[in-house]
Amino acid sequence: MTQALLYGVFGIALFGIGLFGVLAITHVVKKILAINICGVGVFMVFIANASSGATPDFVPHAMVLTGIVVAVAGTAMALSLVVRINALEKPEEDA
Amino acid sequence: MFNNMTLSDSAQQEGGLPSSVLFIVGLVVATVCLFLAMSLVEFQPTDQPLVTLVASNLEQSGVENPVTAVLLNFRSYDTLLEVAVLLIVALAVMPSGLQDAQQPFITVSKPRERSLVLEAFLRWLLPAIVVTSGYLLWTGASLPGGAFQAGALLAGAGILLLLAGHHSFNFNAPTARLLLVIGLAMFLLVGAGVILSSGIALAYPVAMSGILILVIEVAATLTIAAVLVLLFCALQIEPLGPQPNLGDKEKHL
């Protein structure tokens, strides 16, 4: 069992934890967190696979770097929607 | 599963999913992960054509760091679209109509609560962060680093500045709008400009690729930092800074 494989398997475990959270948790913010955990798992598998050769493959590195930034942006977008929903659901406290 | 979503603090009161459903979901997810892990164990990458491809073309890319070369030269469309995504998200979460476009980008005022430790710390930390960010940007050409790392650091500096409470940012100001779009604008300008010399969009001429990448990266760093700080600002339910009429409301939230 190589180190890359170990990281890959734990990446899949993270993906599973996140996927379970997305499906099973009803709280919206926790669902968003679960999606993030899911994404981190995918990144980890990707990166771990890239380093399995003699020299690491740099293309997945660059793509994951891009993916992290997009994931942050997506999370922020989702959270801003949550903030908006929260504001709409409690109009009496905003007054 | 997605029908009864809630925002309340105690999910038990709202009633989560029944345990039988949870069990089935857990079982399915565990099975999926098991199969994924098994296929990962069996997966043996025979050869990595991209490794040699990147290595053999690295000299033409204008930078020595292969990750930067992939990000900003070989697969620059990815990065271009990513900066575009950042701009779209920034537009989506932008606080609209709350602040006047005439007001300056950064306003200085007396904070409601002062944190002496943070203030004193920031005096040391902020210049160091800015210098480190510039270093990361510059070193991205040959070592790990680059626009994203530098932008994230700068954004961290901006958020710390916000938390100290002396400054507040107005993202409707012309300066802020310029910062938000300059990354994409510069990327598009350079990408379109190189059509004149090479005939293909985003295919930099070899002699100038280093400087062109640096120009794009500087602009992208500013945009990434600005967007990340904007995201932080936009997600605050109660804005920081001097707004005295909100003092009581924050306590019961």
User: Rounded to whole angstroms, how far apart are CA atoms B37 and B30?
Assistant: 10
Please name the residue of chain A whose CA is at the shortest distance from the CA of residue B26: A20
Note the helical H segments in B43-165: 49-61, 66-69, 76-93, 116-139, 147-164
| Overall residue count recorded for chain A in this entry | 95
For an interface test with B, give the residue of A12, A22, A29, A82 to mutate (most B CBs within 10 A): A12
Q: A with B: how many residue pairs have Cβ under 8 Å apart?
A: 135
The interface residues of chain A toward chain B in range 24-53, judged by CB-CB distance below 8 A, are: 24-31, 45, 49, 52-53
Partner residues linked to B246 by β-bridges: none
Q: Which residues of chain A lie closer than 8 angstroms to B54, CB-CB?
A: 57-59
3-state SS class at B106: strand
Cβ contacts of residue B155 below 8 Å, gap of 6+?
A: B224, B225, B226, B227, B228, B229, B232
Q: Is the pLDDT of residue A95 over 50?
A: no
Q: Which residues of chain B lie closer than 8 angstroms to A72, CB-CB?
A: 228, 231
CA torsion sign for B135, B137, B141, B142 is positive
How do strand B167-169 and strand B106-108 relate by DSSP bridges? antiparallel
- B131 min Cα distance to partner chain A (Å): 22
Residues A13, B33 contacting (CB under 8 angstroms): yes
Partner residue opposite B45 with nearest CB, options A52, A58, A65: A52
A6 touches chain B (CB under 8 A): no
CB contact under 8 A, A57 and B235: no
Q: Which two tokens stand for residue A37?
A: 């955990």
pLDDT per position as a tens digit, A2-58: 888 899 999 999 999 999 999 988 888 999 999 999 999 999 998 888 877 677 788
Q: Span A3-89: which CATH code? A: 1.10.287
3-state SS class at B228: helix
* Phi, psi dihedral angles at B242 (to 5 degrees): -80, 95
User: Rounded to whole angstroms, how far apart are CA atoms B51 and A56?
Assistant: 7
CB contact under 8 A, A24 and B26: yes
3-state SS class at B5: coil
Q: Where are the domains of chain A?
A: 3-89
Reading chain B (253 residues) residue by residue, the pLDDT tens digits are 666 677 766 544 455 788 888 899 999 999 999 999 999 888 876 667 788 888 888 888 888 888 888 888 888 888 999 999 999 999 988 876 655 777 888 888 887 777 888 888 889 999 999 999 999 999 988 888 888 999 999 999 999 988 888 888 888 888 888 999 999 999 999 989 888 888 888 888 888 888 888 999 999 999 999 999 999 988 876 654 444 444 444 444 4
Read off the pTM.
0.83
Q: Which two tokens stand for residue A23?
A: 């499906």
